[in-house]
Amino acid sequence: LDYSVEQEWHNPRIVPYQPIVLDPAAKVFHYGQTIFEGLKAYKTADGRIRLFRPRDNFARMNRSNDRMSVPELDIDTAITALERLIEVDADWVPTEPGTSLYIRPYVFATQATLGVAPSENYQFIIIMSPVGAYYPEGMNPVKIYVESDYVRAMVGGVGEAKTAGNYAAALKSQQIAKEQGYTQVLWLDGAEHKYIEEVGSMNVFFKIGGKVITPALNGSILAGITRNSVLQLLKHWGISVEERRLSIDEIYEAAEQGLLEEAFGTGTAAVISPIGEVNWGGQKLVIGEGRTGELTNKLYDTLTGIQYGTVEDPFGWTREVGAG
């Protein structure tokens, strides 16, 4: 789809995967006015293709668009476009256990002027790729590096928008973490460097003394769709969850008292990811002896079961492609 002030969103089309031509002055290159989303399609045992919460992804895209002064997209048009695209290459949705089709919708500013102002032209594109099983041999706890110098986002900034700049701001810390043998960065709040926000591509949950706790959405954390699914599932199971400010000190203190039972990340890519180790300024914390916790396993099995159609979906989260 293209956007112009006169025609608004227009010219929907499906074309073979190919490079796109942009003017060197296109605003996206200079001012980063761009938004993306990430969601997945799954094939059920009987060959049907299902999307997981696509409406919620496009609704989040519109919230990101609003923050970044990008014109709103019609959600039904976006879902229809996505379904048409999947139908063209339905064989692309892999069938092996644990595999899926990763879908990347994105929008970017194409107007060729260097003035700092919202663009008058945009393109909306969807690309996709089959992805293998995230955990082909059982869940593997991730090791997490707590970043105490740099911050990813500030309250009032663009942290809750899924915009490229947040990820660019994270690259250096990710590099440092990787050099030290850690897979993900845990971000602390921008004001006090004290409260837990999220990791690179996941929201985080901790089970402390029988209670499940996750940082409250504060404007600088991405409102993960998987985070929301976990909250709904836990409530459905009668497990109480606290959404509140959670300091990194509290995690270390809970561990010292033997109360830190489980930790996991939530995100589209891995769905649920056990956290086995945290390193904050050189202080290492091993969680659950590096093994995956019971609740973490149950959430993983239930959510992936709903996605692949082997567990009933009481929430209406899945949408069959082509079913109207």
Residue 91 CB, nearest distance to ligand PMP (Å)? 25
DSSP conformation class of 91: G
Taking only Cα atoms into account, the Rg of the chain, rounded to an integer number of angstroms, comes to: 20
Under 8 Å between Cβ of 277 and 141:
yes
Distance CA 244, CA 4 (A): 42
Shortest distance in whole angstroms from residue 57 CB to ligand PMP: 7
Task: Please give the Cα distance from 123 to 151 (Å, whole number).
Answer: 30
In angstroms, what is the minimal distance from the CB of 104 to ligand PMP?
A: 11
- Looking at the Cβ atoms of 160 and 277, the one nearer to ligand PMP is 160
Nearer to ligand PMP, 62 or 113 (CB): 62
Q: How far is the CB of 47 from ligand PMP (least distance, A)?
A: 26
Q: How far is the CB of 121 from ligand PMP (least distance, A)?
A: 26
Residue 38 CB, nearest distance to ligand PMP (Å)?
5
State which residue, 176 or 286, has the beta carbon closest to ligand PMP. 176
Rounded to the nearest whole angstrom, what is the least distance from the CB of residue 190 to ligand PMP in the complex?
A: 14
Query: What residues make contact with ligand PMP under the rule CB under 6 A?
Result: 38, 198, 201-203, 222, 224-227, 266-268
Alpha-carbon gap, residue 120 to 70, rounded angstroms: 9
The CA distance from 311 to 314, in Å, is: 9
Q: Which residues pair with 106 in a beta bridge?
A: 36, 125
Q: Which is nearer to ligand PMP, 266 or 304 (CB)?
A: 266
State how far the Cα of 147 lies from the Cα of 177, in Å rounded to an integer: 8
Alpha-helical (H) ranges within the chain are 27-31, 54-67, 75-88, 164-179, 225-236, 248-256, 294-308
- Provide the 3-class DSSP secondary structure of residue 208: strand
Q: For ligand PMP, which is the closer residue by CB, 5 or 168?
A: 168
For ligand PMP, give the closer residue by CB, 99 or 214. 214
Distance, in Å, from the CA atom of 168 to the CA atom of 164, rounded to the nearest integer, reads 6
Q: Which is nearer to ligand PMP, 34 or 201 (CB)?
A: 201
Nearest to 280, CA basis, from 258, 251, 254: 251
